[in-house]
Amino acid sequence: MCVTVSPVAVHITKSKTTNVYLTGNQKLPSDRNNITILPYPQKGDGRAMINTSPVNLLHANAATSLPPCDVNHAVPAAIFSTGGYAGNFFHDISDILIPLFLTSSILRPNISLVLTDYQSWWIQKYQRVLSAISINDIISAPTDYPGGTVHCFPGAIVGLTYHGFMACNKTDVPGNLTCVDFLHFLHSSLFLKTFGPPATVTTQKEKPLMVLLSRRNYRILLNEEEVINLAKDVGFRVEVVTPKEATQLQFIAELVHSSSVLFGVHGAGLTNMIFLQPGAVLLQVVPWGLDWMSTCYSKPPLEMGLKYVGYKIGIAESTLIEKYPIDDPVMVDPESIHMKGYDVRRPIYMEGQNVRLNLTRFRGTLETAMQLAEF
């Protein structure tokens, strides 16, 4: 991330490159004339960077090198990419919206958002959240002027502050912000009811609501109906959300916000925990071989004022047992498979298995979730 409090000229074109011209006596590190920044947090991830366009920081050391301004703005710019893994809900939140919340905290809402790798559907999905960050129109590459447009700002932030997977570390810059602050901001921007008594408080007549995130392609809960009936027997009301329904941001936000427990097999859908009220419960089923990856969803709840319950499936609850011998490294040494890299582990553990829960074993986990949901 690069920050300047001096004027800049930002040349935005339909090409995959954005140029930011530094004016006056501003200097780049080591007196360099230019620096290239990839304005997406996961810079060490080659796959994410393939979909991230560069931003060039250029030192305008002569009047002729500084392009004339087409549009002048009174507030600073925050320049970031909606490329990378944008479109995956986990990465939308972890890589873009939480970092944008952190980065804009001092200036919000008096800041202009400048997007590279612009995707209109992404903007439409998160319009309410973005409007709460900036009261100004979003700036992107023009569609009607091939030569592009030069926007001039009194300052700029290029890139986003990133604290890790769904993380807000109050000791890091900008400081004093937690993920509870992010949730409060998010709920307010989506017009969810104000933080109040925990969602887990119910009347004597009303049973706690469990929202079940159903899966369709892989890591499917094969005995979903039996699990639903078991949850009802334990004492929950159950609402099932399909993958298509889960893409409707306002719908899923309001439903999860009204629930006491969000339940699903490991996957990006569990990111919907951000809509839970304080004290509510996230219940994650951890498929075989995904212990480490499950921490993406087991750690954040504790930083968000939520409760977490995990259910690690047994070897007999995974359909991998139907594909591999019981003594195969896939079954007995998942870590060795993970060490071979993403391209090896993904088709096996992420896309190559479904789960069939042992109802007797799982009942205890549901009862734990119920106990947490009642207090």
* Tens of pLDDT, residues 93-149: 999 999 999 999 999 999 999 999 999 999 999 999 999 999 999 998 766 565 678
Alpha-carbon distance of 251 to 262, in angstroms, equals: 14
- Cβ–Cβ < 8 Å for 83, 61: no
Average pLDDT over all residues of the chain: 92
pTM for this entry: 0.92
- Cβ–Cβ < 8 Å for 200, 280: yes
What are the structural domains of the chain?
A: 2-173 (no CATH), 209-373 (3.40.50)
Check residue 216 and report its DSSP letter: S
Alpha-carbon distance of 375 to 372, in angstroms, equals: 6
Residues above pLDDT 90, as percent of the chain: 80
Per residue in 201-252, pLDDT (tens digit) is 555 568 999 999 999 999 999 999 999 999 999 999 999 999 999 999 999 9
pLDDT of residue 195: 53
Q: Pick 43 or 90 by higher pLDDT.
A: 90
Least confident range of 28-32, 195-199, 223-227: 195-199
Sign of CA dihedral 87, 88, 90, 94: negative
Alpha helices, DSSP H, located in the chain: 46-50, 89-91, 98-103, 120-125, 127-133, 179-189, 224-234, 243-246, 249-257, 295-298, 300-303, 329-332, 334-338, 342-345, 359-373
For tokens 């096996």, name the residue. 348
